Structure 1
Amino acid sequence: MISIIIPTYNRDEMLGLTLVSVVNAIEGIKAEVLVINDSPGRIPHVPAEIASKVQVLQNPKRGVGAARNFGVESSKGDYIIFLDDDFLVTQECLLGLRQLLIEHPDKIFNAAWIYPPDLLDEIRNQKFGRYLISEGFTSLQDRMKGLSWNNETIFERSKGVSSGILAISRENFIKTGGYAAEMVFGNDGDFSLRIKSAGLKPYIAPTITAFHNERDKMKLELWLNRRKFGIRQLVKHNMVEQPQFPLYKKAVLSFLSKNKGILNALEKAVPNMSAFDWAYKSVVNALFAVYLFEAYTSEN
């Protein structure tokens, strides 16, 4: 059996789309779908037409790591597929991952992912969307720019795993000891270390593709704050080293941090025309640097 485990937090619209795709994908397959709700005091909405095929469980702790661990504890399958609540999958994708786990019992697999074609078409008309495309945020292959990639066959992932769509056998998950339950965000780095300590290796399956449906995150401020929060979590749990900022750079970033309104005004002022994308990219990269600086230096 395949156990598909989906942590979620106040994201009903994206979750609903994900669940419809998953329920359609498991038609005729021995599988279970477990949604682990990480939002206290509310129950996520599941479309009525598929509600009978989905289990919704309340996370007894808090955080995506604890949610994934609880999902495994509550599941029955020999093969686990972790899925973020904004991924769309096909039956071919799920069966392909299961087959890889059967054929390679010592390996853990990430499927490749890309943005859905309709989302890509939509964001090409937005200056922030064009920024995401040009900077490589819309596919796993582009996110791994500068690292090895093989389109033909599975290959080892040199820098850990991502849990957005991750396939692992129950036996191997137990060997890792599971996710760090105290980490509410950004726990993939820690899980990657646990995988290595267990003598396992993560691989990418480039011919197996899912769609990363991040259509509710196409706003610059939301995107920047999410990345800032992620870095803060890594700093809090000593997963990254504090960078040493040269004095001149620290002074510039400190000034811009106190005067972000200038950069925000510039970002809004750049026309939504591809001819000005170079200017927009410069402003957004400056904002990105400021948010990362704040993530590393903020006490909160």
Structure 2
Amino acid sequence: MKLSIIIPTKDRPQLVIETLTAVVRAVKKVDNEILVVNDSEKPLILPDALTNVVTVLRNPKAGVASARNFGAKNAIGELLLFIDDDMLIQAEDIQTTLGLHQKYQRCCINLNWIYPPERSARIAQTSFGRYLIHYGFTSLKGWNRGNDWNDEEIFVTHGITSQYLSMTKKDFEESGGYNEIFPHAGFEDYEFAKRLQALGFIFYIYPKSRLFHNESDRLDLNAWLDRRRRGGATRKVAVGLGYQEVAIYYSFTKKIILNVLSFSSPLLQFVVRILPNKPAFDSIHFRIVNILLAVAIYEGYNSKK
């Protein structure tokens, strides 16, 4: 079956070029098309080696959910593969995906991902990097902490992630696609999964693949907190759509504390920066980052935008 690869991107030109270079190598032996949906007002300039094999579609400032829908609308392949603009894939990942869709019907498939080993080794030299590793932010398995996981074989799961998500175009169209009310990436996957489940779709994770999550531009604490803040905003959107199970209830006292901490966050970030970069200080660093994380989610969740 023809494969349509859909990659939404916004203001990450270097990373998306790295992703596209890997994708072009990975699909050489596959009937495919590669669609990049640019969600930025800035034009995306690709090197000559990519311009003949990649189609760039403009969908400025409409959001990642809209970008994925726009890509799917323009796709001509029977199988859709959504990839984030910071994922590095190989030919084996594509062959695995095609093979699994020959075997499993009416489904969505995620392949496993980890940070590139050299990046994991590098961030392990910093306190914040050790925080990310400790709390499982550097792998799909870590993000699924608390849920069932099988390292040995494909297994059924209860949610999806669009970082690398494949499904047939027919199934995607039946589902109605992503809800475009979501302003940022985050809980659009949660809402999409709930509608897919209601239609009887099954979600699989194939754990033996090892995609590389190349988010090198989001390993800075401020950038990471901004992403968590946007996640809080999309969570509130999901609650507004009726998904009360993801609502966060803040007591009056907790609101006061978080407002004070929000005002104090520049000071907390300063303390994080001046703490010695030694494992002996990691427990203090981790506690402060967790406070900043709670504040970021609170700020996003209570944002008026």
TM-score normalised by the chain length of structure 1: 0.94
- Given that 2:40 and 2:61 are in contact with CA atoms closer than 8 Å, whether structure 1 keeps it comes out as no
> How many Å separate the matches in 1 of 2:223 and 2:206?
30
Aligned pairs for 1:145-294 (under 5 A) are 145-158=145-158, 160-185=159-184, 186=186, 187-237=188-238, 238=240, 239=243, 241-294=246-299
Shift of 1:113: 0.4
Give secondary structure in 2 for the equivalent of 1:29: coil
Give secondary structure in 2 for the equivalent of 1:146: coil
Q: Deviations over 1:127-148 (max 9, x none)?
A: 1111101110000011111111
- Given that 1:93 and 1:208 are in contact with CA atoms closer than 8 Å, whether structure 2 keeps it comes out as yes
**Structure-1 residue corresponding to 2:137:** 137
Structure 1 residue runs of 5 or longer lacking an equivalent are none
> Aligned partner of 1:147: which letter?
N
**Structure-2 residue corresponding to 1:116:** 116
Larger mean Cα displacement after TM superposition, 1-10 or 247-256:
247-256
Report whether the alignment pairs 1:295 with 2:300. yes
> How many Å separate the matches in 1 of 2:30 and 2:280?
49
**Structure-2 residue corresponding to 1:35:** 36
Report whether the alignment pairs 1:89 with 2:89. yes
In 2 relative to 1, CA 69–299 (structure 1 residues): closer, same or farther, beyond 3 Å? closer
- Given that 1:16 and 1:45 are in contact with CA atoms closer than 8 Å, whether structure 2 keeps it comes out as no
Give secondary structure in 2 for the equivalent of 1:209: strand
**Structure-2 residue corresponding to 1:54:** 54
> How many Å separate the matches in 2 of 1:21 and 1:299?
39
Larger mean Cα displacement after TM superposition, 249-258 or 268-277:
249-258
Q: Deviations over 1:43-96 (max 9, x none)?
A: 212222222111111127711111111111111111111000000000000110
> How many Å separate the matches in 2 of 1:286 and 1:4?
38
> How many Å separate the matches in 2 of 1:247 and 1:69?
40
- Given that 1:98 and 1:167 are in contact with CA atoms closer than 8 Å, whether structure 2 keeps it comes out as no
In 2 relative to 1, CA 296–59 (structure 1 residues): closer, same or farther, beyond 3 Å? closer
> Aligned partner of 2:200: which letter?
G
4+ runs deviating over 3 angstroms: 239-242
> How many Å separate the matches in 1 of 2:70 and 2:294?
36
> How many Å separate the matches in 1 of 2:302 and 2:196?
30
Give secondary structure in 1 for the equivalent of 2:283: helix
Shift of 1:251: 2.7
> How many Å separate the matches in 1 of 2:24 and 2:181?
31
Structure 2 residue runs of 5 or longer lacking an equivalent are none
> Aligned partner of 1:198: which letter?
L
> How many Å separate the matches in 2 of 1:69 and 1:22?
20
**Structure-1 residue corresponding to 2:45:** 45
> Aligned partner of 2:182: which letter?
M
RMSD of aligned C-alpha atoms?
Answer: 1.6
> How many Å separate the matches in 2 of 1:114 and 1:218?
14
> Aligned partner of 1:62: which letter?
A
Give secondary structure in 2 for the equivalent of 1:168: strand
> How many Å separate the matches in 2 of 1:61 and 1:259?
32
Shift of 1:5: 0.5
* Percent identical residues: 37
- Given that 1:107 and 1:203 are in contact with CA atoms closer than 8 Å, whether structure 2 keeps it comes out as yes
- Given that 1:61 and 1:67 are in contact with CA atoms closer than 8 Å, whether structure 2 keeps it comes out as no
> Aligned partner of 2:37: which letter?
I
Report whether the alignment pairs 1:25 with 2:26. yes
> How many Å separate the matches in 2 of 1:231 and 1:245?
13
> How many Å separate the matches in 2 of 1:292 and 1:183?
16
Shift of 1:249: 2.7
Corresponding residue pairs, total: 298
